[in-house]
Copies of this chain bind each other. A is one copy, B any other.
């Protein structure tokens, strides 16, 4: 099994069965197999595989090189994440030499999107708001209808609003149905919004977390923005105290 930190992620399929080998780069991996190869310093499980497969007697064909490159590009968002190392780049260079066209795979994995998805963004971006470095916007069911976007997600809009600079926290509200709203938080380095998400029944990482909250878009937006402002105010106080101590 690859890139899977715990058995729950298999959806129960392997719950009662022994697992022979797990290869993963998540530091939270529960090491539930007989043989566990966990390399948390690696940018992607595909980077571990690219390094090990030849030694294990599995040649990297052009098809395999393309698959591994796609995994590296996706996990590192195109070598942009802070865990990208010079080794990550050299592994990618080797995969290019083995037949992976980086430009082609990059565009397919990370850049290209549909007309409807791009149009869908527009409705949220015209509605973009901010108070100091707290930025937020929403996607409504009406936006989805207007744009013809049929996906069930935010079409990657979170990445756009979390790239605004300067930024402390970005919040995206996505109306799911009349009484259910999906909330995504993104925070700058140094903040931890996972507790905020947990307090609304969700979860996640310090810099990226989310929750599905019962309530209309308006009501949830009001509640979540209040809680997020409170978090930022409290955090600022702590920062100041630390500065004075």
Contact = CB atoms under 8 A, between A and B. Distances in A.
Interface of A: 78-82, 84-87, 89-90, 92-94, 96-97, 102-104, 106-107, 111-115, 118-119, 121-128, 130, 135, 160-161, 163-165
A102 B90 CA distance: 13
Contacts of A118: 125, 128, 160-161, 163-164
Given A118-B163, A122-B124, 5 more contacts: A80-B111, A84-B102, A85-B96, A122-B125, A126-B126
Nearest to A117: B164
Contacts of A80: 78, 102-103, 106-107, 111
Contacts of A127: 122
Q: Please list the 3 inter-chain residue pairs (A to B) with the smallest Cβ-Cβ separation, ordered nearest first.
A: A122-B125, A122-B126, A112-B165
B128 A126 contact: no
B79 A113 contact: no
A119 B96 CA distance: 37
Nearest to A133: B115
Contact of A96 (B86, B114, B126): B86
Contacts of A97: 86
A78 B81 contact: no
Contact of A94 (B84, B86, B119): B86
B115 A121 contact: no
B135 A128 contact: no
Given A89-B92, A163-B113, A103 B126 contact: no
Contacts of A84: 102-103
Contacts of A130: 115
A164 B113 contact: yes
B123 A165 contact: no
11 contacts: A78-B78, A79-B79, A80-B103, A87-B93, A89-B90, A89-B93, A115-B130, A118-B164, A119-B128, A122-B124, A123-B125
